[in-house]
Amino acid sequence: MDLKSPTAKAMIMLACLVVVLAGVKAASAIMVPFFLSAFIAIACSPLINWATAHRIPRWASITLVILIILVFGFLLAGLVGQSLTDFKENLPSYREKLDNEFAWAIDRLAGFNINVNRELFTQHFDPGMAMSVATNFLSGMGGALSNLFLILLTVIFMLFEADSMPSRLHTALADPEMKMKQIDRFISSVNSYLAIKTVVSLATGLIIGTWLYIMGVDHFLLWAVLAFLLNYIPNIGSIIAAVPAVLIALVQYGLASAGLVALGFVLVNTIMGNMVEPRLMGRGMGLSTLVVFLSLIFWGWLFGSVGMLLSVPLTMVVKIALESREESKWLALLLSSNAERDANRLS
């Protein structure tokens, strides 16, 4: 085989990619805390830059941000941990009530000559499994945060080094005169995306939590945190977050309340996802729905629950990196939700 042929080059690149991915997966115990640290540092950096612009020393602003993260983190971890424990204790009774509700629905359908095999239905569709998936996701996140001290130290060092990182990248890529605008655009785009997404996700979680509290849904804080985390996954994240809360409302109060809870999720995610977020972020960051779903599977396989949470931010980093080089722009267009619009933007 001619090693200079396009086919041979493609096969070599794929082989190298497989080796790299295997190494990353083997080192996931180290990579996951690093990605979480980078995620937190990038999300916090705009606040620190704002404080620095108002003549607050950088060390003081970083210390203040870390203290805020610690205080709210420990408070939230205590509340969510207790709520998660209570929910796991009540899960068998929720499963039993859900089974009864679905059995009643099957009997009602039979009255309209729509016969559903109850055994086959319960064998292939377990409504309680949706709630178990949600709690397993939160438990996985808790396991990833077990290295809290290491993550915090890494975040602190990243924040202190953030100012010098752009110039280091320029020097490393042999651009001492700072002519490569793609590097600056890459850093700015990732920073803006994660910061805006964090603010929008936080607002979504607060509104959802307030709505569930008003509706009297059990473990409303748990579902609010889940809505906050899964809002980083557009299109399908809000659906996954809504399912357990709607099922709990169905068990507690019946079909009408479950419908109101679902309506609240739909309204909040429609307003935040289709109106607020595009207005803040602009329209140049879209990923296609298929890419979002595939990235969820891929990063989840690679890094577990943390990979699912960061699937879209990580894919956005890849997309922005591909856009920054002329020879890889076509790959970025394949990831886009609107290739024609992005092609005009990149031209």
- DSSP E strands, the chain: none
Q: Tell me, yes or no, whether 101 lies in a domain.
A: yes
Q: Tell me, yes or no, whether 310 lies in a domain.
A: no
Residue 287 phi/psi, 5-degree rounding, is -115, 145
In order along its 347 residues, the chain shows pLDDT tens digits of: 555 666 776 777 788 878 888 887 887 778 878 888 888 887 777 778 788 778 888 888 888 888 887 787 777 777 767 777 777 777 777 777 777 777 766 766 666 766 666 665 655 556 556 666 666 666 666 665 667 777 778 888 888 777 766 666 666 666 666 556 666 666 677 777 777 888 888 899 999 999 999 999 888 888 888 888 888 776 677 778 888 888 888 888 878 888 899 999 989 988 887 788 777 765 545 677 778 788 888 888 888 777 877 787 788 777 777 776 666 677 777 777 665 565 555 56
Q: Tell me, yes or no, whether 309 lies in a domain.
A: no
DSSP structure string for 282-326: -STT-B-HHHHHHHHHHHHHHHTHHHHHTHHHHHHHHHHHHHTSG
- The letter for the amino acid at 273 is G
Q: Tell me, yes or no, whether 86 lies in a domain.
A: yes
Cut 0.85: pTM above it:
no
Q: Tell me, yes or no, whether 11 lies in a domain.
A: no
Distances (CA, A) of 159 to 46, 71, 317: 11, 19, 19
Q: Tell me, yes or no, whether 328 lies in a domain.
A: no
Structural domain total, the chain: 1
In angstroms, the CA 347 to CA 139 distance is 45
Q: Tell me, yes or no, whether 140 lies in a domain.
A: yes
- 155, with CB counted inside 10 A (0-12, 13-18, 19+), is buried
Handedness of CA 19, 20, 21, 22 (dihedral sign): positive
Q: Answer for the pair 131, 91: CB distance below 8 angstroms, yes or no.
A: yes
Q: Which two tokens stand for residue 340?
A: 């024609």
**Containing domain of residue 129, as a range?**
31-282
- The letter for the amino acid at 287 is L
Q: Tell me, yes or no, whether 247 lies in a domain.
A: yes
Q: Which two tokens stand for residue 259?
A: 């419908």
